[in-house]
Amino acid sequence: MRHVDSRSATLELEWAWSVCADLFSFAAPDPNRVCEEDLNRELIFCLLGGFAVPFELARSASNLVWTLNPFSAHWTEGRLKGRLIAELSKPQFQPQRSDGGLRRYRFPQRKAELIVGARRWLHERDNLLFDLRELASEGERRQLMCDCPGVGPKTASWLLRNLGLAFGLAVLDIHVMRALQTAGRITTERLPRDYDFVEAQFLGWCQELGASPAAFDLFVWEWQRGSLTSPSV
C-alpha cells in the first residue's frame, strides 16, 4: 500500500472505487451457454491458482495442462499424475523471472494429485452443470462444488463466478483479506475456518458502497496488487 495510515489507505481505495466503478462492470457469462468443457477448463485454472501462486503463473500453467487433454479417457490416473508432475516441474511458465528465464510451477506433486482427484470426482457425476443450474441459491452451488477434491469455499466461489453461476459470493484471496484488515473489518480471522464471517464483512462493505460483490472483488484484487494508481482529481 502507498500509505502507512490505514484510514487514509481505505479512504483512498474507496474513493478510487467511486471513480473507477464503471470500468469494473462486466458482462456476466450466460450460465445456460456454459458447456462441460468450459467447466473443466475453469476447474483446472482455479485448482492451479491461489495459495501464493500468482494469477499469471496459474494461467500459464493451466493453458499447458489443458493441452494435455487431462479429462480424456485415454489417461489412467497414474499416467496422468506422472505427466502432470513432469510438466509442472519444468521451467516453462510465465511470467518470466528477473533474469529472463521461465518459471517452474511451485507445487507440482500436490496440484497433480488434486487435478487427478477432481477428474475422478467429475467422472463420477452424471451432469454437474445440470445439477448446479438446478440449485436455487449460490450458496448451495458453492456447497456442491466444495465436495470436489481440492476445492474449498474460495475456489468454489471463484469457479462459479467465472462460469456466471454466482455473483454474490466473495472470492477471499490474500488481496481481499489485506484490504479488509486495513479497513478494520477483520483482525485475526483465518481461512477457511472463518470464511463465512469474513465473507459477511466483505459483502457488508459492498452494500455500503453500493457495489456489486463481483466487480468490487476484482477492483480490490487489482488495487492491492498495485495494478492501479489513484485517479487524478
Q: What is the residue type of 150?
A: G
Report how far apart the first and last C-alpha atoms of the chain are (Å, whole number).
19
pLDDT tens-place values along the chain, 233 residues long: 444 589 999 999 999 999 999 988 766 778 889 999 999 999 999 999 988 899 999 999 999 999 999 999 999 999 999 999 999 999 999 999 999 999 999 899 999 999 999 999 999 998 999 999 999 999 999 999 999 999 999 999 999 999 999 999 999 999 999 999 999 999 999 999 999 999 999 999 999 999 999 999 999 999 998 877 655 54
- Please tell me whether residues 16 and 84 are part of one structural domain: no
Q: Is there a single domain that holds both residue 177 and residue 153?
A: no
**80, 133: one domain:** yes
107 and 24, same domain (yes or no): no
- Same domain for 74 and 147: yes
Q: What is the pLDDT of residue 26?
A: 66
Residue 29, C-beta contacts closer than 8 angstroms, at least 6 positions apart: 162, 163, 164
Distance separating alpha carbons of residues 18 and 43, to the nearest angstrom:
32
Residue 230 lies in a domain: no
Q: What's residue 99's pLDDT?
A: 94
Query: What's the CATH code of the domain at 190?
Result: 1.10.1670
Q: What are the pLDDT digits (tens) for 73-96? A: 999 999 999 999 999 999 999 999
Range of the domain at 63: 36-162
Residues 146 and 190 in one domain: no
**Global pTM?**
0.92
Residues 77, 53 share a domain: yes
- Please tell me whether residues 155 and 189 are part of one structural domain: no
